[in-house]
Copies of this chain bind each other. A is one copy, B any other.
Amino acid sequence: MMTGEEYRKSVNDGRETYFRGRRIHNVAEDPDLGRMADHVAAAYDGWYQPGVEARNPLMMPPSSPEEMRERMPLWSRLDVLTKVTVGSLSTLMTVAARTREQDNDTADRITAYVEDARLRDIRIPQCITDAKGDRSLRPALQSDPDAYVRVVDRAPDGVVIRGAKLHISGASFGHDLMVIPTKRMKPDEGQFSIACMVPVSSPGVQVVNVGFSPTADEREQPGSWRHLVFDGFVMFNDVFVPTPRVLSDDRPEFSATFAHSLGIWERLGGMVHQVDQAERLVGLALLVAEANGIQKISHIREKIDELAIFATILRAGLEAAVSNAHESPDGYYYPDELFTNAAKYYGAASYSLMVRHLHDIAGGSISTVPGVADFDNPDTGEGLRKYMSTSPTVSGEYRARLFLAIRDFTASDFGGWNQVGVLQGGGGLFAQRVVTRGKFDFDAAREMALDEAGLKEFL
């Protein structure tokens, strides 16, 4: 396993990565990007164990529903990249189990890769979403054939890929990119049916980073600092991938298995995150109602209750998914997809109203409260403290920082990034609907409705 320091060195490998128009030469030491590397390194240090036998125990899917439930609070505390890696490796194990019957070799290759990745203790960003070009046309019919990542050349020792993958969390901070097809490919789309593990430092890989970079000190932007993430726009400019790292090539029949397996784990992680976030909203609403002295007003209380109900329903979705977890052929457990999807949809669809409740309770000071530098300035600090206080027990600085935190979490660059993430994470409302559609027992509902309507004779 790696320590945080070893991790930092490991990513200083010449990778071609950019931020705001600048080429970044060492992501771990860059003043902007380096902050995310710090988070990843801290998780390395937190889970480090010496010895060649050592493995991070999170890096395998849970072997029982109970284990799944026990791990959830641990995930909550992981940085995004480590969390993503848990998902990547769980995904690969799921793919191996699902493909083994049809193709033992693929399953073995994947399993071997996972073993090696765990041994090397690497981090693995997930590259799924393609550029996509014209949404009304499938990959093989695009005017630019590179709209979906594809194999442009094959050689005995590997393949050459071209294309781009979008929305890649932590792309510049991992070691291998898990490149998988974004959707089910048709029989004539073998060139797009490529799943492979690509070192970030491979020649031809370019990552353009995008992220909310906090501009003030941590007291003013607690969320931006703690949850800071850089997403990558990853371009593969004819990148050579050696055969051992090609998990599947030219097998359209396997193309959907990767994204689908990933979906299972991504939604679980997403739900844990949503529940955390919902509970944070409840807490912020309660704190600011109390700081404003309005927590007992009936319509304020109603809004706080609705936030608590929101958080509880999300947790119910998670609980139901875990209680109804399914066993995979190789003895691992994955959460029930119908429940995670429905809850995720509900959470994403309701989030903006919940933020409105919080803003309604908090008031305009979310936007207009002065920053910590103004409180630190002795010429203005005293007055600000005086006037931001609402009673002898609510200090002006505390209340101001509460507003700053609400701003940071819900009405800022970070808040906006987060809001889009809640909605679009895991594929957007539409994707959740599609999975629900696939898993909901519509036949049972139809039959029950016919029975209740007295129309069974027409069945």
Residues of A within 8 A of B (CB): 18, 20-23, 129, 131-136, 143-144, 146-147, 163-164, 166-167, 206, 208, 210, 215-216, 218-219, 222-223, 226, 231, 233, 235, 237, 276, 279-280, 282-284, 286-287, 292-294, 297-299, 301-302, 305-306, 308-309, 311-313, 315-317, 319-321, 323-324, 338-339, 341-343, 345-346, 349, 351-353, 355-356, 359-360, 363-371, 373-374, 376-377, 379-380, 383-384, 386-392, 395, 398, 401-402, 405-407, 409-413, 415-417, 419-421, 423-425, 428-430, 432-433, 436-437, 440, 442, 444-450, 452-455, 458
Main secondary structure of the interface of A (DSSP, over half): helix
- Identical copies in the complex: 4
Q: Name the B residues within 8 Å of A401 (CB-CB).
A: 453-455
Nearest chain B residue, comparing its CB with the CB of A454:
B222
Q: Is A416's CB under 8 angstroms from B415's CB? A: yes
Q: Name the B residues within 8 Å of A388 (CB-CB).
A: 131
- Least Cβ–Cβ distance between A431 and chain B, in angstroms: 11
Given the interface contacts A210-B371, A338-B312, A355-B352, does A133 sit within 8 Å of B405 by beta carbon?
no
Q: Name the B residues within 8 Å of A349 (CB-CB).
A: 356
Complex Cα spacing A417 to B403, Å? 13
Complex Cα spacing A235 to B166, Å? 48
Partner of A21, one of B143, B299, B376: B376
- Least Cβ–Cβ distance between A371 and chain B, in angstroms: 6
Give 20 new A-B contacts, CB below 8 A, not counting A235-B387, A308-B445, A316-B321.
A18-B370, A20-B374, A22-B373, A131-B388, A134-B293, A135-B292, A135-B390, A166-B387, A167-B365, A210-B368, A280-B452, A282-B445, A286-B449, A298-B299, A302-B302, A316-B316, A316-B342, A364-B428, A407-B416, A415-B416
Q: Name the B residues within 8 Å of A423 (CB-CB).
A: 356, 359-360
Q: Name the B residues within 8 Å of A373 (CB-CB).
A: 20-22
- Least Cβ–Cβ distance between A29 and chain B, in angstroms: 20
Complex Cα spacing A388 to B164, Å? 10
Q: Name the B residues within 8 Å of A398 (CB-CB).
A: 455, 458
Complex Cα spacing A354 to B371, Å? 30
Q: Is B305's CB under 8 angstroms from A433's CB? A: yes
Partner of A317, one of B316, B379, B425, B449: B316
Complex Cα spacing A292 to B428, Å? 15
Complex Cα spacing A233 to B75, Å? 41
Complex Cα spacing A20 to B22, Å? 27
